[in-house]
Amino acid sequence: GGRQLVLSGGRYPQIDFFGGLVSGNVVPTDSALFRYGMGGNGVLDGAVRQSVTPGPWPLPLEGHTALPYGNGQVTYVFGGKNRTGYLNQFWHLTRDLNTLGADFDYRWQLQGVPDPPPPRWEHTAILTRDTSAVMIVYGGVGKNQQQQDIVRNDVWRLYWTTAMPSPGYHWEPLSPTTPPGLDPPGPLWGHSAVYDEARKRMIVSAGRRTLSGAPTSDTTWALSFAQGSSRGRTASAGSWD
């Protein structure tokens, strides 16, 4: 569980695997990037490991999110769980051309974004083309102040600004409104989410509301944002419908 698939491209389209549990294990143990090429009858490309790629590298993870950005040359990885607990780290995985080498150059970069969401795993995240909401994170399992597991219902945006004195990435919690007579999804984990770019909304479906047991939700919700650019919107942006 907890593995992520990303369509990356390359000599032929590739599916990238990072994180998850090796069969029989109860904690993640492998931090390699595995790649499956979809050319011809399929090609299993060599795994990329820290030993052949210099620089920082995330620890083995499960329950994180991994999303390709732009043309797939950069993957955004957020949250998850490792051997020590839940995380709120935000990583960039960049794939660069290597003209003189036999393979691409891969580089992990830990983004030191201030005021991140609380640590969590089994959440969802979606990407948009708008710099005021590059990524939207929702739900998951985290800890309360007593360090007890809880199911989260918070929504966060990651946005980019060039404004001084703090250009760069920033996190901000969102407070979506709910129309009268409609129940919001509330705390969820293990759910799924996709972005409907045409209607500027995040579609959320299924999941669990409790920490154990079978999935408890079979409902689909939409978190809708204003039509047109959301640039400059406040933390109250969004409405469940």
Gap between the Cα atoms of 12 and 44, Å rounded? 12
pLDDT in tens, 205-227: 999 999 998 888 888 999 998 64
Sorted by sequence, the CB contacts under 8 Å of residue 130 that are 6+ apart come out as 229, 230, 231
Two tokens at 46? 């060599």
Lowest mean pLDDT among 78-87, 135-144, 222-231: 222-231
pLDDT given at position 202:
95
pTM of the shown model: 0.87
At 222, is the secondary structure helix, strand, or coil?
A: strand
Cα–Cα distances (Å) from 217 to 96, 137, 154, 236, in that order, read: 41, 19, 17, 25
pLDDT given at position 203:
96
pLDDT in tens, 105-135: 889 999 999 999 999 999 999 999 888 889 9
